[in-house]
Structure 1
C-alpha cells in the first residue's frame, strides 16, 4: 500500500478492544505511527479495562467501548464519530464484535488481517488486507500492519515498547511494595471456558521458597478480584515458609505495570502480565503448556519460557505441534501439570545469571 508514503493520512482510527496483553502489544504500532506521521490524528477504540491500562498514551484520542452495552454501546460510538470520515481504519481485532463495530465507522480504507489470520470472517468487513505471513506471532501480526503501510522498522523488536505509566501509578507501586528486590508472580490467567492455563499451587509454593532462599528475592503475588486469584494468594502465603506480599486486587492496571517495571523478574502463565513485562523490558519466565509459545509467548523473552506445549500436544491431542493448526490450544485440565518445579528452577537460574551480565 504505497499511497500513504508520499501523503500521510490525516486521520487514523484503530480498533483493538481486548485483551490486555494484546492491547499492550499494539502500543508499539501506535508509537511507530506517531514517529513516522507526527501530524496524523489517531483515534483508538478500545475496551473499558484496556483504556485504564492505556490512558496517558500521548497523542492518542481514546473512545471507550463498554462491551457489556452490546449494540447500544456501538451505536453511541457510531454517533460520536458520525461527522468523521477517516483516511484509514486499522482493524486490528479479528473478532466478530469488533467487526460489527467497524461497520458504523466511516473510512476510505479499512485495513484488516490477511485471510489466513482474519478469524470470524473479518475479511468481509475490510477492503484491504495486510501482507501474509505464515505461522506468525501475534506481535508480528500487528507489525505487519506497519509493514503493509511501508513504515515498519526492520524488525518487530526494533519498535518502541514502553507502556504509559503515570506518576500516580509509580507512587502507588512504591507505597504498596516499598522493597527494592522482588519477583512479581501472577499465578492465574483470565477466566475463559476450557482454557486451562493455571499452574499448580504446589509449584508456585516451591518457586516462591526457591527464589527467597537462593536469591533473597521476595515474592509479590498479583492478580484480579476473582475468587480463584484470592485463593491462590492465600494458599501461597500460608504454605510458603518465606516472606510473601499479597497484592491481589490491590493495584490499578498501571500500578501493576509500575510494579512489574521495578521487579527483578516476573513469573506467570499465558496472561497479560507476561506481555506487560515484555513491554517494559523486565525479565519474564512464562509458564506455557496449553498454548503455543511461538504464537502467544512474551515476544522478546520467548527463549526463557518453560515450554511444555509440545509434550501436552503429544499427551492429550496425540499429535505433534506440526500436526496441530497454528495456535491451536491444548484444552486439557492436566496439561499445566507437565511443568515441573525443576524446569522453572533451571530457567530462573539461567535467566538471572544471564541478566546479571547485561549492562
Structure 2
C-alpha cells in the first residue's frame, strides 16, 4: 500500500486495511507512509510500515527502493494522487499496480498503474479507499479501526486534561496556503461558554505548535472564561492527541485530522464545513451531525449550484467559514451530547 498523507486520510484508510486482514489473515501488508502519519498509526496490528519523510526528497525514495529491492509485491495499491507518490512507486516491484479510475485520479496517476478502480461517482474518501478492497474481491467491508493508543499516551492525556470530563476543540486546520478552513475565535469562545454553562464541561484546546495555531489559541482564551479552558495547543504528541480525543465527550473541529481521528475512535464529532464538501470528506460515522455551509459557500463565492461544480471542488475564499453560525454548531453539540454513549474501539489503559 502506498499512501503517504494526510492524518485524516490515513485514518479513513484503516478500515480498508482491516477488511483486507479479515479476508486474508495471513497476508503480509506493507504500508509506505509519511513520517507524521506513521507517528499517528505506529503499532497498527498486522502492518509493516515503511516511512518516507518528504523532506528527504529523492534520497529518501532511493533509500526505500534499496530497502525493498528484494521484495516483489503481489499488488501495489497506489492510493496517493500525487506526483511525489507516483515517482516513489516507480522503484517498487509489483505484479500489478492498482490506482484510481480516471475520474478520481489526479496528477496523471493512471499513467503509473496497470489497473484502475471501477468508477464510483460522488464517493466519500473512506469509500474510495474501500474500493481498493472491493476490486481485490473483498465482500466484508464492515468498518473497523482499532487504532493503537499506548498507555504512555493515556498518561500524557491525564497529565494535560485531568480526570474530569471535557470537550475538545481543535480550532485550526493545516496551515497551508489558501486553506481557509478555520472558523473564528469568537465562534469558538461562544461554544466554550455554552459547554461550560449548559453542560458543565471544560474545553480542551488542541493543536500543533505553529504560529497560526498558537495565535488562534491566544485569541480564544482572551474571549473565554479562564476556568472553562484547558490550553493544550502544542503540548501533546500525536498519540497523546489520540488519547485526548478518545477521552473527550465531544470533538469540534473544521475539516482536519482531528475530526477523522475522533471518528475512528468512536468519539462524538461535530465537523465544521464550508470550504470543503462534507459529502466527500466529513467524519464518516458522524456525517449527520456536520454543520454544512458548503452549498451556501458554493453559491456565494463560486456563483454556482452544487450540481455545477466538480466533485471535491473547494471554495478557496477567506470568508467562506463565516457562513457558519454559532447557533448551528451549538444545536449539533447538544444533539450529540444527548446521544447514548457508543462503544469505544480503544481499550482503557492498564492500571
> 1:25, 1:169 → 2: CA distance?
21
Shift of 1:152: 3.5
Aligned match of 2:76 in 76, 83, 89?
Answer: 89
Mapped contact 2:72–2:95 kept (Cα < 8 A): yes
Mapped contact 2:175–2:212 kept (Cα < 8 A): no
Say if 2:279 is the partner of 1:288: no
> 2:132, 2:160 → 1: CA distance?
39
Say if 2:202 is the partner of 1:218: yes
Which consecutive unaligned segments of at least 5 residues does structure 1 have?
1-13
> 2:137, 2:22 → 1: CA distance?
13
TM-score normalised by structure 1 residue count: 0.93
Task: Map 1:343-358 to 2 at 5 A.
Answer: 343-353=328-338, 355-356=339-340
Secondary structure, aligned partner of 2:96: strand
Pairs aligned (count): 342
- Tell me which residue corresponds to 2:140: 153
Say if 2:249 is the partner of 1:260: no
Aligned match of 1:197 in 181, 187, 191?
Answer: 181
Aligned match of 1:28 in 11, 15, 38?
Answer: 15
- Tell me which residue corresponds to 1:114: 101
Which consecutive unaligned segments of at least 5 residues does structure 2 have?
344-351
Shift of 1:280: 0.5
Shift of 1:358: 6.4
Secondary structure, aligned partner of 1:210: helix
- Tell me which residue corresponds to 1:4: none
User: Which consecutive segments of 4 or more residues in structure 1 shift more than 3 A?
Assistant: 356-359
- Tell me which residue corresponds to 2:347: none
Please provide the CA RMSD for this pair: 1.2
Secondary structure, aligned partner of 2:95: strand
- Tell me which residue corresponds to 2:172: 188
Single out whichever of 313-322 and 24-33 deviates more from structure 2. 24-33
Shift of 1:350: 1.9
Mapped contact 2:201–2:228 kept (Cα < 8 A): no
- Tell me which residue corresponds to 1:42: 29
Shift of 1:173: 1.0
Shift of 1:180: 2.9
